[in-house]
Amino acid sequence: MTPSDIPQVLHRAYQQVTQRDPGTLDRDADIRALGVDSVQLLEMIVIAETELGLRVPDAALGGVETVGDLYDMLGEALPQTQGQGRVQAQAQAQAQVSVPVEARGAR
């Protein structure tokens, strides 16, 4: 897994937890405005951590307000050897991220 995988992983995590298709996940989108409460957010993070093979420190979880915060948090937790870390994750997620229909729901 690399930083470029983060948007699709989060897209799937969102679907798995909420049973809804988020469509486009804007980087600036407020997590709560997407209908995700704090418990669902925790579950999404656990799913993403498992898929990406990383662990985010507990202390980082309280600062997540937007989709971009999520990308950054997970990007920073990726081992640097897997890519360019946060910079690459940010670049990947800079624009609106729209996951192709055929990729949605894939496990």
Of 54-73, which residues contact another protein (CB under 8 A)? Answer: 58, 61-62, 64-65
28 binds another protein (CB under 8 A): no
Contact 86, 68 (CB under 8 A): no
Site string for another protein, 2-21 (x = CB under 8 A): --------------------
Q: Which is nearer to another protein, 21 or 65 (CB)?
A: 65
47 binds another protein (CB under 8 A): yes
Beta partners for residue 30, in sequence order: 66
52 binds another protein (CB under 8 A): no
The CA radius of gyration of the chain, in Å to the nearest whole number, is 12
Residue 39 CB, shortest distance to another protein, in Å, is: 6
**Which string of DSSP letters, residue by residue, matches 19-51?**
SS---EE-TT-BTGGGT--HHHHHHHHHHHHHH
